[in-house]
Amino acid sequence: MNVALVKNDSVPAASSVFSAAQGRLPGAGKVADIRREAFAAFERTGLPHRRIEEWKYTDLRALVREVLPLAGSPEAAALARAKTAIASVAIAGAAKLVLVDGVVAADLSDLSALPSGVTARALRDVLSDQTNDARGDLLLTKAADPMLSLNAALATDGVVVTVADGVQLSSPLQLIHVATASKAARYSRSHVRIGQGARATLVESCIAADGAGAYQANDVAVIWIGDGAALSHVRLMSDTADAVNIASELFTVGAKSKLSLFNMTSGGAVSRLQAFFTLAGEGSDLIVNGVNLLRDKQHGDMTLVVDHAVPGCTSRENFRAVLDDRAHSVFQGRIIVRPDAQQTDGKMMTRALLLSDEAEADAKPELEIFADDVSCGHGATAGALDDSLLFYLQARGLPEKQAQALLIQAFVGEAIEAIEDDALRERVIAAAQDWMEARA
Amino acid sequence: MALLEIKNLQVRVEEREILHGLTLTIDAGKVHAIMGPNGSGKSTLSHVIAGKPGYEVTGGEILFKGEDLLAMAPDERAAKGVFLAFQYPVEIPGVATMTFLRTALNAQRKARGEEEYSTPDFLKKVREISKQLSIPQDMLKRGVNVGFSGGEKKRNEVLQMALFQPSLCILDEMDSGLDIDALRIAADGVNALRSPERSMVVITHYQRLLNYIVPDVVHVMSKGRVVKSGGKELAHELEASGYAQFEDAA
pLDDT surpassing 50 at residue B213: yes
Alpha helices in A155-207 (DSSP H): none
Q: Cα–Cα distance between A7 and A5 in angstroms, integer? A: 6
Asked if A405 and A439 touch (Cβ cutoff 8 Å), the reply is: yes
The CA distance from A295 to A321, in Å, is 11
With an 8 Å Cβ cutoff, are A395 and B78 in contact? yes
Domain that holds residue A398: 386-440
Residue A4 pLDDT? 57
- CA distance to partner chain A, nearest, from residue B11 (Å): 19
pLDDT at res. B240: 85
Q: How far apart are CA A41 and CA A218, in angstroms?
A: 16
Residues A288 and A411 in one domain: no
Q: Between B50, B53, B103, which is nearest A398 by CB? A: B103
Of A366, A385, A404, which residue sits at a domain end?
A385
Q: Which residues 38-77 of B are in CB contact (within 8 Å) with A?
A: 50-53, 73-75, 77
pLDDT in tens, A186-209: 999 999 999 999 999 999 999 999
Q: Which pLDDT band holds residue B250 (cuts at 50, 70, 90)?
A: very low
> Do A313 and A273 fall within a single domain?
yes
* pLDDT tens by residue, A367-388: 999 999 999 999 999 999 999 9
Chain B: closest CA distance from residue A407 (Å) = 7
Q: A401 with A276, same domain?
A: no
Task: Output A353 or A111, whichever has higher pLDDT.
Answer: A353
What's the pLDDT score for residue A1? 47
Distance, CA of B212 to CA of A212 (rounded, Å): 68
Same domain, A268 and A403: no
B250 to chain A, any CB pair closer than 8 A? The answer is no
Q: What is the mean pLDDT of residues A224-240?
A: 98
Mean pLDDT in chain A? Answer: 95
Q: In chain B, positions 70-89, which contact chain A (CB-CB < 8 Å)? A: 73-75, 77-79, 83-84, 86, 89
Tell me, yes or no, whether A241 and A358 share the same domain.
yes
Residue B242 to chain A, least CA–CA distance (Å)? 33
Report pLDDT for B249: 52
Q: How confident is the model at residue A11 (pLDDT cuts 50, 70, 90)?
A: low
Q: What is the pLDDT of residue B242?
A: 84
Considering the domain architecture, whether residues A204 and A102 belong to the same structural domain is answered as: yes
Measure the CA–CA gap between B145 and B92, rounded to whole angstroms.
Answer: 7
Residue B181 phi, psi dihedral angles, 5° rounding = -65, -45
Closest CA of chain A from B224, distance in Å? 23
Span of A232-246, A287-301, B107-121, B134-148 with lowest mean pLDDT: B134-148
**What single-letter amino acid sits at A405?**
A
pLDDT at B60: 97
- 8 A C-beta contact, residue B40 and residue B204: no
pLDDT of amino acid A12: 59
How does residue A406 score in pLDDT terms, banded at 50, 70 and 90? Answer: very high
User: How many structural domains compose chain A?
Assistant: 2
The string of DSSP codes covering A353-377 is EESSTT-EEEEEEEEEE--SS-EEE
A32 assigned to some structural domain: no
Q: Which domain holds residue B55?
A: 2-249
Question: Tens of pLDDT along B79-106?
Answer: 999 999 999 999 998 899 999 999 999 9
Does A407 lie in the same domain as A381? no
Task: Show residues of chain A in contact with B92, CB under 8 Å.
Answer: 389, 392-393, 407, 410
Sequence-ordered strand ranges (E) for chain B = 2-13, 16-27, 31-35, 56-64, 67-68, 82-85, 92-96, 143-144, 168-172, 199-204, 217-222, 225-230
- The DSSP code for A136 is G
B116 inside 8 A of chain A by CB: no
* Residue A29 belongs to a domain: no
The answer on A144 and A201 residing in a single domain is yes
Over range B25-37, report the average pLDDT. 95
Residues A293 and A397 in one domain: no
Integer Cα distance of B127 and B129 in angstroms: 6
Helix then strand then coil, % of chain A, to nearest 5: 25, 40, 35
A200, β-bridge pairs: A231
- Alpha carbon of A393: minimum distance to chain B alpha carbons (Å): 8
User: In terms of domains, do A284 and A412 share one?
Assistant: no
What is the pLDDT, as a whole number, of residue A3? Answer: 54
As a whole number, the mean pLDDT across chain B is 93
Name the band, by pLDDT with cuts 50, 70 and 90, for residue A6: low
Size of interface A-B (CB pairs under 8 A): 77
B160 contact A CB<8A: yes
CA distance B139 to B155: 11
Per the structure, the count of domains in chain B is: 1
Whether the pLDDT of residue A440 is over 70: the answer is: no
Please give the ipTM for the structure prediction: 0.96
Q: Greater confidence, A196 or A3?
A: A196
Residues B246, B222 contacting (CB under 8 angstroms): yes
Contact A397 B164 (CB under 8 A): yes
A395 interfaces chain B, CB cutoff of 8 Å:
yes
Kindly report the CATH number assigned to the domain that includes residue B12.
Answer: 3.40.50.300
Let me know whether A261 and A410 are in one domain.
Answer: no
Domain finish residue from A364, A385, A406: A385
Select the residue from A291, A392, A400, A412 to test the B interface by mutation, using most B Cβ atoms within 10 A.
A392
Is residue A63 domain-resident? no
Q: pLDDT > 90: what percent of chain A?
A: 91
- Same domain as A393, residue A372: no
Helix B119-132 vs helix B150-164: crossing angle, to nearest 10: 130
Tell me whether residues A396 and B89 touch, CB distance under 8 A.
no
Q: Do B90 and A388 touch (CB under 8 A)?
A: yes
